[in-house]
Structure 1
Amino acid sequence: MSLLSVKDLNVSFRIGRQELPALIDISFSLERGERIAFVGESGAGKSILGFSMVNLITRPGFIKSGSIKLDKKEIIGLRPRHMQEVRGKRIAMIFQDPMMTLNPVLTIGQQLVEAIKSHTNITYREAKNIAIEKLASVQIASPEKRFDQYPHELSGGMRQRVIIAAILLLTPDIIIADEPTTALDVTIQAEILQLLLEICKKNGVALILISHDLGIVSKVAERTLVMYAGRIVEEGPTLELINDPQHPYTQGLLNALPQMSLPGQRLNQIKGSMPSLSDRPSGCAFHNRCPYATDKCKTQQPEFINSGISTVSCFLIEDMFEEERASLGEY
């Protein structure tokens, strides 16, 4: 039984009289302890998906249809009080900027103790000891000192560690990490990712990593889903997807990695840009940026097909399989 099951999820934004789709027919599952990633450029819908899973979509956005089940229990439409029991306790989220989560006018200790006491009946001293223990567990030096400091007194990497410590207080089943290392330098990025990986493995926590960087994803996720313009366009085991990308968009993301260019050369890039919600192309949304697009791509949405151990939504792959079957006399 899947821990989390998302089926045909559609999220839209109502702007004036227009209803603009942001997520279209998103379906995936997550097993206990599994680590998956969603990748794509800014505007692909990755963060909206993360917010949807913890019911943090606010007006003018709304979940139009679909299902999100946690342990077979539907969580879309839960009353705020019941959703509060899911958010943080069962599904926790790490945001790009830890200052979105930390209260700047409260000390680190006050915030951690408050989180503990809101879910337990233990004393302040006991809560403080647990908080300091969790700070130490995420490799924060001098946790007793950090306990009494304010968020602005800590570095970005240290603040992100505090967020991870806060999440561990409630031992969630799932952590959603939305670009958790974007604002950090490369060395600190590696430390935070390694810390997340160790915590998930040690505690059997499932991880959903949201990122635009396939290089980062390759170090953490077992399975990767590629998103473009609100849709999933490719899904497969991470290493296989990176070594043999099927969708032209996935190929473009990989070619854009800095290590794919020689020193002194211009970085590769995908021509054009992600379409806005109000300017979504017909057919396959990637067709106006795709070097292989045909007339069919401009008018029809490709279905998912199996390609090796991955699944992909692309007419190019579909046509290749049809040609192969025709050459083998299967028609």
Structure 2
Amino acid sequence: MSLLSVNGLSVKFRQRHQDLVALHDVSFSLDRGERIAIVGESGAGKSVLGYALVNLLMKPGFIDAGSVQFDGRELTKLSPKQWQGIRGKKIAMIFQDPMVTLNPVLTIGAQMIEAIRSHTRIAYKDARKLAIEKLAHVRISAPSQRFDQYPHELSGGMRQRVIIAIALLLNPEIIIADEPTTALDVTIQAEILQLLKQICADNGVALILITHDFGVVSRIAERTFVMYAGRIVEQGPTLEIINDPQHPYTQGLLNALPQMALPGQRLNQIKGNMPPLNDQPSGCAFHPRCPYAEERCRQNPPGFVYSGVSTVACYVVEDMLSEFSQHDGDDSYE
């Protein structure tokens, strides 16, 4: 049984005249110790998915339909009190900006102690020892000294390590990392990613990495889910998706990477923008930006088809696979 199983998850934001759909029928699973990535542009629904998994959707957002099961336990039906035993303890979340996550008027140690004692009955001395051990675990130098410092006294990379240490305090089984390296320079970014990967491997922790950067994904995730306008449009092993992307949107994301352009050449980009929630296209949401769009793409959303070891929601890919299958079974073709 999967550690986390998400089936048909839909999220809406209640408005006066209509409910806006932010997630459409999202389904995926996560095994123990597995590392997956959710990839897409801003507005694709990645962070909404992360918040929905740990019941942190702010009103007017709400889960409209679907199931989220953790170790066989349905999470969408839990009361706020029941969530206290899950969020932070079993499923931890790392947010994008540590300066927003950390309280600027409390020391690092005070915030770590608060996180520990909100879930367990433990003496201050033991909680302090645990906090310093976790700071050392994420390779923070002089952890006893950092324990008594304030967030503004630490560098950006150091603050992000503190956030990871806080996430590890109660030995969670899943970490959800929402753009954990966006605010960091490239060198520090690589260090944080390697740290996350190593911690998950050493402790058997599963990871859901939310990001827009395929360069980040290639370093850490075993499987990747590509999202567009609140839907998963492609999913499969990370290396397979990077080396042989099937969906036109996935191809566009990879072609937009800086290394795909020659020196002095303009960077590639996907024409158009992510559609807003109040103006979602009919059919396949990507069709206004897709160079291969057909009339049927404008009518109905495509279902998933298997393409090798990946699954893709695209009519064009479906046609190519169908044509290949017919030729493969036609003796005259040989």
Shorter chain as denominator, the TM-score bin is over 0.9
Q: Secondary structure at the match of 1:63?
A: strand
Q: Secondary structure at the match of 2:242?
A: helix
Superposed displacement of residue 99, structure 1: 2.3
- Relative to structure 1, the CA distance from residue 133 to residue 328 in structure 2 (aligned partners, 3 Å threshold; closer, same or farther) is closer
Residue 190 (structure 2) aligns with = 190
* Paired letter, 1:9: L
For residues 324 and 145 of structure 2, what CA distance do their matches in structure 1 show? Answer: 66
Superposed displacement of residue 168, structure 1: 1.2
Superposed displacement of residue 247, structure 1: 0.2
Deviations 1:120-169 (A, max 9, x none): 33221121111111111111111111111111111111111001111111
For residues 316 and 88 of structure 2, what CA distance do their matches in structure 1 show? Answer: 42
* Paired letter, 2:147: F
For residues 295 and 46 of structure 2, what CA distance do their matches in structure 1 show? Answer: 28
1:289-308 aligned within 5 A: 289-308=289-308
1:47-62 aligned within 5 A: 47-62=47-62
Residue 17 (structure 1) aligns with = 17
The answer to whether the Cα contact below 8 Å between 2:11 and 2:24 also exists between their aligned partners in 1 is yes
Could you tell which deviates more after superposition, 254-263 or 142-151?
142-151
Instruction: Give the aligned CA root-mean-square deviation in angstroms.
Output: 1.0
For residues 241 and 134 of structure 1, what CA distance do their matches in structure 2 show? Answer: 35
Superposed displacement of residue 230, structure 1: 0.3
Superposed displacement of residue 328, structure 1: 4.6
Residue 78 (structure 2) aligns with = 78
Moved runs in structure 1, 4+ residues, more than 6 A?
A: none
Deviations 1:151-200 (A, max 9, x none): 11111111110011111110000000000000000011001001000000
Structure 1 length normalisation: TM-score? 0.98
* Paired letter, 2:246: Q
Residue 44 (structure 1) aligns with = 44
Residue 226 (structure 2) aligns with = 226
Residue 118 (structure 2) aligns with = 118
Could you tell which deviates more after superposition, 101-110 or 185-194?
101-110
1:19-34 aligned within 5 A: 19-34=19-34
Residue 160 (structure 2) aligns with = 160
Superposed displacement of residue 245, structure 1: 0.3
Q: Secondary structure at the match of 1:12?
A: strand
Q: Secondary structure at the match of 1:288?
A: coil
For residues 35 and 90 of structure 2, what CA distance do their matches in structure 1 show? Answer: 16
> Which runs of 5 or more residues in structure 2 are unaligned?
none
For residues 300 and 168 of structure 1, what CA distance do their matches in structure 2 show? Answer: 44
* Paired letter, 1:257: L
Deviations 1:237-261 (A, max 9, x none): 0001100000000000000000000
Superposed displacement of residue 114, structure 1: 1.8
- Relative to structure 1, the CA distance from residue 190 to residue 328 in structure 2 (aligned partners, 3 Å threshold; closer, same or farther) is closer
Superposed displacement of residue 321, structure 1: 1.9
For residues 307 and 76 of structure 1, what CA distance do their matches in structure 2 show? Answer: 32
Residue 215 (structure 1) aligns with = 215
* Paired letter, 1:300: N
Residue 246 (structure 1) aligns with = 246
* Paired letter, 1:40: G
For residues 329 and 98 of structure 1, what CA distance do their matches in structure 2 show? Answer: 56
For residues 114 and 67 of structure 2, what CA distance do their matches in structure 1 show? Answer: 32
Q: Secondary structure at the match of 1:85?
A: coil
Q: Secondary structure at the match of 1:43?
A: coil
Q: Secondary structure at the match of 2:273?
A: coil
For residues 124 and 13 of structure 1, what CA distance do their matches in structure 2 show? Answer: 42
Percent identity of paired positions between Structure 1 and Structure 2: 70
> Which runs of 5 or more residues in structure 1 are unaligned?
none
For residues 229 and 115 of structure 1, what CA distance do their matches in structure 2 show? Answer: 35
Structure 2 length normalisation: TM-score? 0.97
For residues 8 and 120 of structure 1, what CA distance do their matches in structure 2 show? Answer: 34
Residue 108 (structure 1) aligns with = 108
Deviations 1:274-313 (A, max 9, x none): 0000111000000010011011111111000000000000
Could you tell which deviates more after superposition, 315-324 or 1-10?
315-324
Q: Secondary structure at the match of 1:2?
A: coil
* Paired letter, 2:34: E
For residues 328 and 266 of structure 2, what CA distance do their matches in structure 1 show? Answer: 42
For residues 326 and 206 of structure 1, what CA distance do their matches in structure 2 show? Answer: 41
